[in-house]
Amino acid sequence: MRNFLRSRKIAVCFIALFLVGVLSGCSSGKQDSGGGDSAREVDYPTKPFEFVAPAGPGGGWDTTIRMVAKVLGETGLVNQPMPVVNKPGGGGAVGLAYMQEKKGSPYHVVVYSPPLLLINLTGQTQLSYKNLTPLVILINDFGAFAVPKNSRFNSINEVMEALKKDPKSVKIGGASSPGSMDHMQFLQAAKAAGVNNLKDIQYISFQSGESLAALMGGHIDLLSTGMAEVVGPLESGDIKVLAITAPERVKEGPLSQVPTLKEQGIDAVFVNWRGLFGPPEMPDYTVKYLSDTLAKMVQTPEWKEIVKKNGWTEAFMGPEEFKAFLDRTNEEYKSLLVEVGLYKGQ
């Protein structure tokens, strides 16, 4: 009996030692795996990025991403080359398709703004913001509503009252196609002001350089455009700016005298945000690295100087908040487009 008990003790000890060895091996394996991920994070980035502007040189998207690359390089926040390539076409659709080819890449970054949502909602492409990985919002810009200097309208509310009586009585112009930004920001304001029959409002689209000439030539009654586009003609006295779509007044410059929509009792803000995205299925470690690095970039004097020089508004939103913002904004745009009969999304 004693021998049996001793044999049993020995067997139990062997089993215990075996289990300790197995568990230790598993633990060691997990640590190795984690160490590999950590090493990959530490080693990243190890080769050049490719920054994508989904439009031609010189526009808002191109300027934004080139300035990002410039500041990241000059400040040493990123020590790899960041060449910018242009992929123009389809209001951003060509660039969106290009990013699908880079699925899972940790080295591709593209810049977008509201047209990313609108080209899908208006049926220009089946791809959408959901086919990208949101990284950060960097800046905001806002819209403006201008009329000729001799216009009968002296406030945005006078325009809205005229539209309430007859939605076809005021010709609205913009530099983007129906259902795109210039059109949408006016529709949003009109809806908030209580204008019915939004689809009956006349909207005429022009090439960007022609819209201001059309306004001053009397071919349209009101121009819906960006704030930067109205500064020059406002200073020269050629136009009146009735309202801006920002939440607060501009603090300095000629636009500081222009009231917001909210100041005039119209509860609407239209934001022309600009943000960065990765391709679909961008690795989590890349998203963290880029969002953290860009959060540091927006605090640098170099970036703040560029924001001021371009008349942008500082803004920063990280990946999760950015994604929620996109979901919410997409639904708002969709609702407006359905109302005016321009929704063609899926």
CA angle 182, 186, 122 (to 5 degrees): 55
Residue 38 has pLDDT above 90, yes or no: no
Asked if residue 223 lies in contact with residue 173, where contact means CB atoms within 8 angstroms, the answer is yes
Written as six digits, the tokens of 253 are: 């410059």
Residues 151 and 254 placed together within one structural domain of the fold: yes
Residues 298 and 310 placed together within one structural domain of the fold: yes
pLDDT at residue 17 in the model: 41
Residues 152 and 232 placed together within one structural domain of the fold: yes
Q: Residues 88, 93, 95, 98: is their CA dihedral positive or negative?
A: negative
Residue 28 has pLDDT above 60, yes or no: no
In a domain, 44, yes or no: no
In a domain, 321, yes or no: yes
pLDDT at residue 42 in the model: 57
Residues 293 and 312 placed together within one structural domain of the fold: yes
Sole residue written with tokens 């410039």: 70
pLDDT at residue 311 in the model: 83
In a domain, 92, yes or no: yes
Written as six digits, the tokens of 297 are: 């970039």
151-177 confidence digits (pLDDT tens): 999 999 999 999 999 999 999 999 989
In a domain, 31, yes or no: no
Residues 157 and 213 placed together within one structural domain of the fold: yes
Number of domains the chain contains: 2
Residues 299 and 279 placed together within one structural domain of the fold: yes
Residues 169 and 260 placed together within one structural domain of the fold: yes
In a domain, 160, yes or no: yes
Q: Quote the domain boundaries for residue 152.
A: 142-264
Element (H, E) at 215: helix 208-216
Residues 113 and 227 placed together within one structural domain of the fold: no
| The model's pTM | 0.85
Residue 274 has pLDDT above 50, yes or no: yes
Find the CATH number of the domain harbouring 325.
3.40.190.150
- Of the residues 264, 296, 319, the one at which a domain ends: 264
> What mean pLDDT is reported for the chain?
90
In a domain, 7, yes or no: no
80-98 confidence digits (pLDDT tens): 999 999 999 999 999 999 9
Report, as an integer, the average pLDDT of 311-333. Answer: 96
Residues 162 and 98 placed together within one structural domain of the fold: no
Residues 189 and 128 placed together within one structural domain of the fold: no
